[in-house]
A and B are shown apart, each in its own frame.
Chain A
Amino acid sequence: MDVVAKPKFGKNFGSYVLLTILALIVLAPFFIGLWTSFLPTMQIAKGNFLSTDLSFQNYIDAFTQTPILHYLGNSLVISTVTMFAQLLFCSMSAYAFVFLDFKYKRALFVLVLATMMLPFEAEIIPNFSTVKAMGLLNSYSALVVPFLTSAFGIFMLRQSFKQMPVELKEAADIEGLGHLQFYWKIVMPYNRIPLITLGAYSFLGAWNQYLWPMLTTFSNAYRPVQNGLRQLQSEETFNDWGMIQATAAIVVIPTLVVLFVGQHYFKSGANEGAVK
């Protein structure tokens, strides 16, 4: 029998203290933001951060006095469309790179990878010209079209498709499944964990976009939340900090939801049992 040694609390005490302090430093802005979102702006302006005058008034104001709901709606549309588009197009490209044989497959894949080496900032001007030439400025399309697929997503899915046991493909061949059936009935469900990961990643990526929407949207009709948040700050002559904090807290909620839902699926061993 193995005797599993219990971690000695005393020995690790120093590490725990250090980690706790670091965690507090990292989380402090978040907690301060959340705390102030419950304080009346007057108290914040006075610098009275320890006031106990807590209420949901800021949240009510955010919903009633600002277009935050509209921003949220915009972001939701943009992020959802981006996510599903990336899942579809990245998985299809990855499938082609793994399971199909065609000329210049390697060269094409290297080309796809090469786009990953370019920082997004370097692509902004050509992308802007393209979107403008297509007449898409200030529309949902401007915010979605450049992100319909991603080199990172293709790369990530290709890696996990490659790790599928060859026998699954052979079994599918024997049953006479075509590429489309194999892709949809076996590859997609088998790789649901990487797909969920990519989905969460692209959803959050789209949700948290700032620079690109700032350049391509000019009206509240299409402005996503991050830019809307910035808008709240400059639109008012007097910055209603309590309400801005409340809005920021609302904006963070979908991120947390995605992370928690995602986490549920990141349990290991979900694909165990396919092959021994």
Chain B
Amino acid sequence: MSITLNDVRKDYDSQTAVLKNVSAKIETGEFFVIVGPSGCGKSTLLRMIAGLTPITAGEIKIDDTVVNDLPPKARKLTMVFQNYALFPFLSVWDNVAFGLKARKLATDDINARVKEALKMVNLTKLAKRKPRELSGGQRQRVALARAVASDAKICLMDEPLSNLDAQLRIKMRQEIYALQRKLGLTLIYVTHDQVEAMTMADHIMVLNDRHVQQIGTPSDIYQNPRNAFVAKFFGTPQINILPAKRSEENSHIVNVSSDLQIVLDEEAPSANLQIGIRPDDMQVKRADGVESNAVVKNTEFLGDETIVYATLNSGSDIHVVLPGKADFRSYEPIRVTANANLMFFDPDGKRIDLSKEAYVHA
């Protein structure tokens, strides 16, 4: 079942818009992730698709049927909540069977479905337990089993993993992904975690500041962010965004203060720019006196790589990821260079596409 959002809008208090101009097409069987910082309206959007929250304007279609005014049940979907929403007075089995009973399926059918769903999430042995007798991960699996048992082909998940610890989150991430593929679900998944978005999604929608910032595949979004917000949101550590100015003498040259100089093959598009450089596209070497353009603040050794935090002479903070172990002391003068994968943004953060390769010189 595919879902189409056409210019969807949500206002509260008739004045304040929470979401504007949201349009997207979610294909059948797709893993679609809505990602954004807290308060960006991503849960609201999910609830509007579910029919729990009415939309102010626009159109939501499921398989070519406009569902704007259909109640949640008629939209034939399931939902997994951040805090699971299990019924504490029912056993695991009855929790999973609850929705099926509410839809008045035949008893045999219910039993078969619940059994299958519990088997799929490895909870068969715990079927008789109450939710309070389960661990966080197991409760999460019960919530998943409810979605699995349903015959609805659309599943909505609202930050389902944010209450789990880091290890379990990775495990459940893989389980959810495997389930989605196995059942052919059209899955809409809301999260604030860019790693979850990158690892699971077929397509990602980035929401911020009431607007859709970008929709694309994970690699597209990482490599071709449409604006500085998207560039900053994906990738750890964050991309370095540095203010830059076009040189007055030569319009092919862009300067980040006096620290970095970029020579372009074409004219710089505007006088003021922002330059984005991924931390692993930069190099650092020891330098002294006039050679140096930055000073080390501190370093973090992570085993396979080292993050160097430094301050450019002009005052901008940067971080650089170096492979392996790198020894730099605090306050050590260094020389930072970069030579590939530069991104250019205008002062408002909008991406500027340059047709040709650019090079950087310190």
Contact = CB atoms under 8 A, between A and B. Distances in A.
Interface of A: 165, 167-168, 170-171, 173-177, 181, 186, 189-190, 192, 269-276
A274 B88 contact: yes
B86 to A, nearest CB: 6
B88 A175 contact: no
Which 7 residue pairs across A and B have the least CB separation, nearest first?
A176-B73, A273-B131, A275-B83, A273-B132, A167-B85, A272-B132, A274-B88
Nearest to B152: A174
A176 B77 CA distance: 11
B335 interface: no
B89 A174 contact: no
Given A174-B73, A190-B89, 19 more contacts: A165-B85, A167-B83, A168-B85, A170-B47, A171-B85, A175-B102, A176-B74, A189-B87, A189-B90, A192-B89, A269-B132, A271-B132, A272-B132, A273-B133, A274-B85, A274-B88, A275-B81, A275-B84, A275-B86
Given A170-B47, A181-B102, A176 B71 contact: yes
Contacts of B83: 165, 167, 275-276
A176 B85 contact: no
A168 B90 CA distance: 13
A189 B94 CA distance: 13
A164 to B, nearest CB: 10
Contacts of B195: none
Given A273-B131, A276-B163, A170 B85 contact: yes
A274 B131 contact: yes
A54 B253 CA distance: 111
B77, B88, B163, most chain A CB atoms within 10 A: B88
B78 interface: yes
B88 A174 contact: no
Contacts of B51: 173
A188 to B, nearest CB: 9
Given A167-B81, A170-B79, A173-B52, A273 B134 contact: yes
B245 interface: no
B139 A176 contact: no
Contacts of B231: none
A170 B89 CA distance: 17
B79 A273 contact: no
A190 B87 contact: yes
B85 A276 contact: no
Contacts of B131: 272-274
A49 B66 CA distance: 86
A276 B50 contact: no
26 contacts: A167-B83, A168-B85, A170-B79, A170-B81, A171-B79, A171-B81, A171-B85, A173-B52, A173-B71, A173-B72, A174-B52, A174-B77, A174-B78, A176-B71, A176-B74, A177-B102, A189-B87, A190-B88, A272-B132, A273-B86, A273-B132, A274-B86, A274-B131, A275-B86, A276-B136, A276-B139
Contacts of A171: 79, 81, 85
Contacts, number: 85
B130 interface: yes
B229 interface: no
A273 B88 contact: yes
A275 B85 contact: yes
A168 to B, nearest CB: 5
Nearest to B158: A167
B99 interface: yes
A138 to B, nearest CB: 43
A173, A177, A272, most chain B CB atoms within 10 A: A173
B48 to A, nearest CB: 12
Nearest to B79: A174
Contacts of A270: 88, 132
Contacts of B134: 273
A160 to B, nearest CB: 14
B204 to A, nearest CB: 24
Contacts of B78: 174
A276 B135 CA distance: 10
B349 to A, nearest CB: 35
A167 B139 CA distance: 15
Contacts of A177: 102
B321 to A, nearest CB: 34
B87 A186 contact: yes
Interface in B83-135: 83-90, 98-99, 102-103, 130-134
Contacts of B81: 167, 170-171, 275
B190 to A, nearest CB: 14
A177 B81 CA distance: 17
A170 to B, nearest CB: 5
A173 B136 CA distance: 24
A186 B98 CA distance: 10
B50 A174 contact: yes
Nearest to A186: B87
Contact of B98 (A173, A175, A269, A274): A175
A247 to B, nearest CB: 40
A170 B99 CA distance: 12
A73 B335 CA distance: 95
A174 B52 CA distance: 8
Contacts of B47: 170
B103 A272 contact: no
Nearest to B130: A273
B87 A274 contact: yes
A170 B78 CA distance: 11
A273 to B, nearest CB: 3
Contacts of A190: 87-89
Contacts of B163: 276
A176 B152 CA distance: 13
A269 B132 CA distance: 8
Contacts of A271: 88-89, 132
Contacts of A272: 88, 131-132
